[in-house]
Amino acid sequence: MNTVLLLGPPGAGKGTVAEALVEKGYTHVSTGDLLREQIRLETPLGIEIKRLMDNGQFVPDDVVVGMIRGLLEAATDRQKFLFDGFPRTLAQAEKFDELLQSVAGVIEEVILLECPEAVIVERLSGRRTCGKCGTVYHVKYNPSSVTDVCDIEGCKLTQRPDDNAETIKNRIEVYKERTAPLIAFYQAKNLIHSIDATQSIDVVRSAALERLG
C-alpha cells in the first residue's frame, strides 16, 4: 500500500492540489472532511469536534488516528492513499508509521506546500465552498461563474465557520507549534519534496502531478 502525504499550513492549497492528484488513482483522505462529516451527523463526537474546530484547535490524536486505522485496515494491498491534513502532530506521525508497518504500507513522498502567512490569510478569507458537492472556490483566484453560486449545483456558496479572522490566526499558531515540526521529522527520512505554493493553482497542481510521475 502506497501513501502520499500533503503537508502545509491551513489554506496553502492541500485540498486544491489533492483534487488534481486523484487523477493518478489515489484515494483522497482529508481528515478535515472526515471530521466535518461527524459534525454534520451531529454525533456526540461531532459536537465536541465542532467546538474544537470552531476555535482552530486540533481534535485529539487518538480520535484522528482511530479513523485512519479503520480506513487502512479496510483497504486493499494495492490501494494508494493521498492524505491531506494527516498526520498533523508528531504523535500522529509516529502512530502512522506503526500503522503502516502493520499493513505493509509505505510513504512514497511528503509534498510540502510552502506558503507565507499573508497569502494564507487572503486565501482562507476568500474561500467559498459548495455545501452540496464540496467544490472549493476563491472569490479572486478561482471564482464561480456567478458570484457566490456553485457552478455545478447552482446553490449558494458558503464560508467555512473556521475561516473567520480570529480562528484563522489560531489555526496558523497551532500549525506553527504542532505541525511544522513534522517537516524536520520527514526531512530526516528524506521524504520531503517542497513546492512553492504561492504560484498559481495550475502551476502548483502541475508541480505536484509531475512529482508523482
H/E stretch holding 158: none
- The rounded distance, in Å, linking the Cα atoms of 147 and 126 is 12
With CB under 6 A as the contact rule, the residue among 2, 127, 172, 191 that binds ligand AP5 is 127
**Does 142 sit near ligand AP5 (CB under 6 A)?**
yes
Torsion sign over Cα 39, 42, 46, 52: positive
**Does 138 sit near ligand AP5 (CB under 6 A)?**
yes
**Catalytic residue among 36, 50, 171, 205, which?**
171
Q: Is 132 considered catalytic here? A: no
Query: In Å, what is the CA distance from 163 to each residue of 101, 129, 192, 212?
Result: 36, 11, 28, 30
**Does 3 sit near ligand AP5 (CB under 6 A)?**
no
**Does 95 sit near ligand AP5 (CB under 6 A)?**
no
Q: Which stretch binds ligand AP5 (CB under 6 A): 4-12, 38-46, 104-112, 146-154?
A: 4-12
With CB under 6 A as the contact rule, the residue among 5, 13, 150, 192 that binds ligand AP5 is 13
- The rounded distance, in Å, linking the Cα atoms of 89 and 141 is 30
Q: Is 171 considered catalytic here? A: yes
**Which grid cell is 119?**
497569502
**Closer by beta carbon to ligand AP5, 39 or else 212:** 39
Q: Closest Cα partner for 208 from 194, 188, 187, 191? A: 194
Q: Which stretch binds ligand AP5 (CB under 6 A): 13-21, 99-107, 148-156, 188-196?
A: 13-21
State the chain's maximal CA–CA distance in angstroms: 49
The answer to whether residues 47 and 151 touch, using CB atoms and an 8 Å cutoff, is: no
**Does 172 sit near ligand AP5 (CB under 6 A)?**
no
Residues 27-46 contacting ligand AP5, CB under 6 A: 30-32, 35
Residues 97-116 contacting ligand AP5, CB under 6 A: none
Q: Closest Cα partner for 3 from 36, 24, 26? A: 26
With CB under 6 A as the contact rule, the residue among 2, 16, 39, 112 that binds ligand AP5 is 16
- Burial of residue 139 (CB within 10 Å: 0-12, 13-18, 19+) is middle
Among all residues, which ones are annotated catalytic? 14, 88, 127, 160, 171
Q: Which spans of this chain sit near ligand AP5 (rule: CB under 6 A)?
A: 8, 10-16, 30-32, 35, 52-53, 56-59, 64, 85-86, 88, 92, 123-124, 126-127, 136-138, 141-142, 162, 171, 197, 200-201, 204
